């Protein structure tokens, strides 16, 4: 019987005073994805609160009694390479921070857990694009105008636009989602899900007129 895999993990919940790699057992179901540089969710402390961590190394070993297991691996492929992990270890000693804090500084804020939960993904939008030349799409649209008017309208619209969100196509033509399937089987269009990135709401505040004091007015007048 093969020895179980043991991962050394830099845990976010540890502070500088107790910062060290913590050992966790790697469940068989996570063995393929549990690699150095991957982020994981692990139980930490007496309350086993879910905390985020980064795997520093993985190797076969004998688990000690009561050894906790990794709950989940958050990345399909590791986000950090060997050189970056070495840099994080060097930074922790040089700048008096935890290894996890050093790792955190290397990656975008959006990838980290919030309150033990993964950040919400940006929603996806169904995009429909033309898979044939516009001239051919217009010819096909003319052929379908009588027997399949909605398919005809979709083809005519995409012949001009190239690609559009499915919702906009349906709004502009009156077609339903069912119209896309036969056109896709025909090879006339392609559909795909694309991520639509969230943007923070931006409010524009008009500046109020600048009121000068009497002294400022006198100086301004001379200038």
SS3 for 58-121 is EEECCCCCCCCECCEECCCCCCCCHHHHHHHHHHHHHCCCCHHHHHHCCCCHHHCCECCECCCC
24-31: long-range contacts, CB 8 A cutoff, minimum separation 24: 24/67, 24/68, 24/69, 24/70, 25/63, 25/67, 25/68, 25/69, 25/70, 26/58, 26/69, 26/70, 27/69, 27/70, 30/70, 30/72, 30/73, 31/5
**pLDDT for the residue numbered 1:** 54
Instruction: Kindly state the DSSP code that residue 162 receives in the 8-state scheme.
Output: S
Q: pLDDT 10s digit of each residue in the chain, 223 long? A: 567 899 999 888 777 667 788 899 999 889 888 999 998 999 988 888 888 889 999 998 877 778 899 998 988 888 888 999 999 889 988 887 888 888 888 877 666 655 555 555 556 788 999 999 999 999 999 999 999 999 999 999 999 989 999 988 998 888 898 999 999 999 999 998 876 655 555 555 555 667 788 888 888 888 8
pLDDT at 15 (0 to 100): 73
Q: What is the pLDDT of residue 56?
A: 92
Q: Locate 211 and state its tokens.
A: 């009121």
Say how far apart CA 55 and CA 23 lie, in whole Å.
Answer: 10
What was the pLDDT predicted at 199? 54
Query: What pLDDT score was predicted for residue 203?
Result: 52
Torsion of CA 134, 181, 175, 145, to 10 degrees: 50
Nearest to 52 by CA among 70, 68, 67: 70
């Amino acid at each position: 019987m093969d020895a179980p895999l043991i991962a050394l993990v830099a845990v976010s919940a540890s502070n500088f005073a107790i910062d060290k790699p913590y050992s966790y057992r790697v469940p068989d179901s996570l063995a393929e994805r549990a690699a150095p540089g991957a982020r994981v969710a692990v139980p930490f402390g007496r309350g086993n609160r879910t905390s985020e961590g980064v795997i520093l190394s993985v190797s076969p070993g004998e688990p000690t009694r009561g050894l906790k297991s990794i709950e989940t691996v958050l990345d399909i492929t590791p986000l950090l390479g060997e050189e970056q992990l070495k840099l994080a270890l060097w930074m922790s000693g040089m700048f008096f921070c935890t290894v996890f804090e050093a790792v955190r500084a290397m990656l975008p804020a959006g990838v980290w857990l919030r309150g033990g939960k993964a950040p919400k993904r940006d929603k996806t939008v169904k995009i429909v694009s033309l898979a044939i030349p516009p001239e051919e799409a217009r010819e096909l649209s003319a052929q379908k105008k009588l027997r399949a008017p909605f398919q005809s309208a979709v083809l005519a619209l995409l012949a001009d636009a190239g690609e559009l969100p499915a919702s906009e196509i349906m709004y502009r033509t009156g077609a339903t989602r069912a119209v896309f399937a036969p056109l896709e089987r025909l090879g006339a269009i392609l559909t795909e899900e694309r991520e639509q990135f969230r943007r923070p709401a931006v409010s524009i505040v008009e500046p109020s007129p600048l009121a000068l004091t009497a002294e400022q007015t006198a100086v301004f007048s001379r200038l």
